[in-house]
Chains A and B, each alone.
Chain A
Amino acid sequence: MTTRNFLKRIVLFTLVLCLVCSFSAVAFADGEEDFSGRTLTVGIWGGNDQETAAIETLKANFEAAHNCTVDLKVYTDYNTQIQADFIGKTAPDVFYVNGSVFPFISSLGVMDALDPEEYDLDQFYPNLVAAFTDADGNVLCVPKDVSTLATYYNIDLLEAAGYTPEDIPDDYDDYMAFLTDLQAKLDEVYGKNAVAAMTYNQDLARNLFILQDGTDGLIDADGNATLTSDGVVANMQFILDFVDAGVWKTPSDLGLGWNGEAFGTGKVAIMEEGNWVYGTLKTDYSDINFGVKAMPVYHGTQYSMSYTVGYGIYTLSENKDMASAWIKYVTGVDGLNIWCSGAGCLPPRADAAEAMDVESDPVWAVHSEMAGCSIPEQLGNNYTIINTAYQNWLPEAVSGNMTAAEFLAEAESQANMEIANAG
């Protein structure tokens, strides 16, 4: 080998080395860890097309940044299947946890405690972080989004009945008189029972904030249901009065599946619904002329309900470093921007909400405002049991076969019996 040839080779080698180095510098420029050849499993439940597109974008970005594979495990019946996975010790590395079942899942000891600083938890809305904090004060999940209830009204229906949106009261106490008049006018214009003044839902997820107002809560320290206190009965009666007066109807009373459908088909003038309905109204029922305002005040307090979902890391995961990186990415400002604007939900942290500019859209602005005063859909470990008992017996109170007190006593006794049996 000649010296010249040798020099040539050295130069070539150096060039190649530089090239390789610069490529890897591009790929891992901002200190992203390299997980090449590894696979992260993320447990989610299926959503609509927009949600699927958003999570696929997150997946692709994460795979590109970390040179790894993300396997989305989509549950069709989340509650049953993930429990089976926990029992079989085959749960995904990182998975969705619904706020309402968080207390139960956290009690199973299947999630690692998370370091609040590592995940920037001080940037998140405190009531959402609290929703994912267990009894010992450990945060086990990072919230990934939040949805809240707001008041939706059909402007055309209101105007046909001789009202303007400003006439809708800001206080539940003024609702009875307003809705009674509105229902009478709607009956006049459209025929009896053709259009309902307002819908409601027979579900603790919707009724919780009214029921708990001014009481010691709907559960005791042991997680048993306490539905029979005078305060709860009075709050229940408040709901039933609207139903008895015929101004609150369920979507099923109208022969429809859910509020969005009833509102979208012009069968109801006012509904309280979560922000997920916003996308539906825009795409499926674009001819509906509607507005959105804050939830009414109940007994002097501004309430709403919030529905939040977080990410937890599986205790037995062998890819905890990857799971942690995933959570940091998807709950960071950039990730949330992709997810929330795609899926149609609110970011769980103020800086991301600002970056997304939620205030520029009047509907999002109202839902975002509600995030601060909302109470989470949670009722200890036994939320599902208590809600099932509640939904089971509420029709009896609505039909007049039971009084509010009798219904709540029946629901409480069934719930507590089941809790004791599960023991």
Chain B
Amino acid sequence: MKHTFLCVFISLWSMNTIMAQMPHDQIYMNKNIACGALLYGNSSWTNYWENTLKRDNPNIGKLSTESLSAMIAYGITKKVNALVMVPYIKTQASQGNLMGQQGFQDLSLWIKTQVFNYKNLHGHATVGVSTPLKNYVTEFMPMSIGLGAKTLSGRAIVHYNLPSNLFVSATGSYIIRGPVNVDRDAFLHGERLINSNSVPVPNAMDAQLRIGYLKKENQFELFAEHFSCIGGDNIRRNSMPFLTNDMTMTAIGAYAKYQLKSLGISARVSYVVDGQNAGQSTNVTVGLLYLFKTK
């Protein structure tokens, strides 16, 4: 990769209370180069899908999730990068009397590596783990700041360089999510009542298709993405969501980054066009990036 001083970015895709952090690009930093980023995200929805029924809820109004994330990416070698991220999340409902929640959410770590490089075609893989930083409340959905599950995820990225600095890229990932211990000692899982505090959170997968322009430090791209759970149940009629729900979202969006020497800025917007057991959210993330050498 020629772009020595490119800062790896992370895209935040927050929906309801899930945050799928995705180091999904093909960009690497050279050995001993680090990039620190501060990202502010705002995700909000007024309409949501209760199972398949699209509705609003005057007892919630607009649900907003704000996040402030600190991220560091580091070049272990030229072709192996590590990324670490910590978000602080705050939720709030514009109507009704549900109490907003806030706190540090999950610590995430990814390792990204190039798997093959053939002419204009590159393949990459990432593995990631995440774990809640604190024992935050998970069952008070949709106000909770996260699902509280430990995760292990694998991602494959295929990137193809087109002429004139254009590219197309496709990614697919699978997220294994561990069970979550909730405060209550019984919960419904589908039609069954489970007399336990250990809640199975369904695994999930997501896929993205991206097309964009990439030149030196700067890039612009359009994307479509789809997130869905593997199994899980549906939000019950006129009820709040729960950790066991089978959430599905399809979103479209755009991303841009501009790097001015060691300082850079990024912005990402996305909008959920379809879903199930999820909010129809509009998501905006802006970031401040800073590159530095560690040795």
Task: Say whether A associates with B.
Answer: no
List the interface of chain B (C-beta within 8 A of A).
Answer: none
